Structure 1
Amino acid sequence: MGEKLSNQYNPQSLLNEIEEKFQMFQILNEKGEIVDKENEPNLSDEELVELMTRMVYTRILDQRSISLNRQGRLGFYAPTAGQEASQLASHFALEKEDWILPGYRDVPQIVFHGLPLWKAFLFSRGHFVGNQAPEGVNVLAPQIIIGAQYVQTAGVALGLKKRGTKNVAVTYTGDGGSSQGDFYEGINFAGAFKAPAIFFIQNNQYAISTPRELQTAGKTLAQKGISAGIPCVQVDGMDALAVYVATRDARERAIRGEGPTLIETVCYRYGPHTMSGDDPTRYRTAEIDNEWAAKDPIVRFRTYLEGKGLWSEAKEEEVIERAKEEIKEAIKKADETPKQTVTDLITNMYEELPVNLQEQYSIYKEKESR
């Protein structure tokens, strides 16, 4: 007892050694300056502008969605401000034929993947039409059960592998989701079968009110991928360029048959966990909020693009006005969609009604016809 452990057997030393190797990957610092020229992506001017456009659009979508929720015109809504680089830059590295299995905060990715915005609004209202993606739009409905999309993604990715397609399945969860059993089952299954999946942990620092430091004893969330034998990396989630490069490289590995990757994007949500009663001022300080506000992904990317002569206040205003107009049209179309009925719910769930529902169906059908 109390003897000094040898180098061959020193579990704590091994853990320390592993954790020290996880250094956060960053290309664009908080001042909008390139700090890793070697890994700066070779994106065209048009692509850089398009990525910024999507990030600005999403910030406006978030602001308008919060307003619509407060007006009672949307149902469930999880704010996205602060996570634009994590969400949109990761999506920017994907192909149209790739599959996205989102969490409930990941509506922007599936909208830019092809889900009409008006259907995204209907999803928020709990309307079944909001879960009906158009043909050729490879997305599933946002998952409400924390972490369940990880297991589903492992299955979809294995299906893509068995079909021999050169595509990947991508999913997102938060720091809290990385503590769920489904998280471990999903990455373990995908790792064992070398399924072409990319697993994101969007570490926005709080699982509702639980801070990151109480979530796990691990120094990083990325290192959890080691247990499944898959490559893993921690990325500055407020840096659009770093997120893009990490996702691009993970996708390339996957389609080469090298299996999945786990990516932790270190970011921050500026708003509440959801609009369903959460008050972040009860568990976050103004000092913490201000610290992360200085790392704003849009401000950082804007500075970078302005330095290249690719962005201006006038250009941003154009994007803002277009976003407002398209959001206005989308909510109008959602309002015009026939309301969901009880009989819709019953017939969508069952092809052949069980006996106990046949009577209920008749009762509600009569009520709805009045």
Structure 2
Amino acid sequence: MQVGVMVTSYNQRDWDRVLAGDNDKPPVNPDIPIVDNSLALGAMVEPLGYDSIWCAEHYGSPYSMQSNPLQWLSYWAGRTERIDMGTAVIVAPWWQPVKLAHEIAMLDTLLDGRRLHLGIGRGVAAHEYAGFGIDREESRDRFRELIEILRLADSQESFEYDGEIYKIPETQVRPQARNKGRLMETAKAAFNTPASMDMAADLGLGQLFVAAEGEDQMISQVAKFNAIRAQKGLAPNQPTTMLYLHCSTDEEELEKGWRYVAQQTWAARNHYAVWKTESFANTKGYEEYAARFEQDAEVDENKGTHRVKQTGLVGTPEQIFDQIERLQKSISLEYLIVHPAHGAKPAPEAQASLKLFAEEVLPAVHAMETPLHEHNLGKPEDLDFVPSIGGAVG
């Protein structure tokens, strides 16, 4: 099994100021040192033997201070020689599709044969949509059309498109990607609602779990996802999964690790459902999120682990390996992304966790087989499964 590392930045201690609307004051903790810590963490990934660097896409809040993920990954492409790059995720509705097709092709060119893992989503936060002047109610149509356009751009010498949202005259992507024709073959979608999961499977995308649900929920989702793919004549798909990491041999350190996961869950709720949030219940395409965030209403900064605690990689090296092995058997896990710097975790702790995992766990995980298990293949009866709304986002 291959293992990537999520490298992104959170200004956790700035949420009190932001939620209070105290925008005339600068952050108590400046953003730049936090970004510098992310740069230092990213510089460890290749020397420690990991397989890839991954990043998110968010705008305008203390949560995951990463804008254009392709710009971030281009930086790492120029500073590394061996590792691959991945997006978790590019938010499709915020992009002009021809521009995105060009940027993906350029990054693929800069990687000089290394792999670009494309994770794509449709976004949630009202304030991010508002900043781009894009109607959230168009998000599903924009997502579907953008995926169709990216496939045309990847598969044809020139293309045109006449959709409800996008009207594109005949055009070409230049320079052509090194891996032209293969960029979208393994593209995966992140989803947090039943409708988004159905759309991703219907579009022939793979599945990317980001800070995933409880184990039983994930098993059922994989089965339904593959049942939908089977209806379309597509082969079953194995998930890529990003999980919070806190690896230590010290019991007190591990207890702190769960608090950092709680802080991350709390910050995600602030970003998506508390700060500058328009109603989900009355927004087309986001009605399911109203129930999801109502379930999370009692999440706070110190107790918000709930479902994520079932799958988070918080433990000793032995405990973490056992957790990964169990997840491979239960959901046919194919590719793991560890997320060591989250919540208000100090940079030295994130670095120590990443290093200990690399020394004590990574070799065994690299040697782990990743078979597709029969209970994940998907059967017609699995199509009746309706996922509950929950878990952490982003």
TM bracket, shorter-chain basis:
0.3 to 0.5
Q: Which structure carries more helix by proportion?
A: 1
Of structures 1 and 2, the larger Rg is shown by 1
TM-score (ref. length: structure 2): 0.33
Q: Which structure carries more strand by proportion?
A: 2
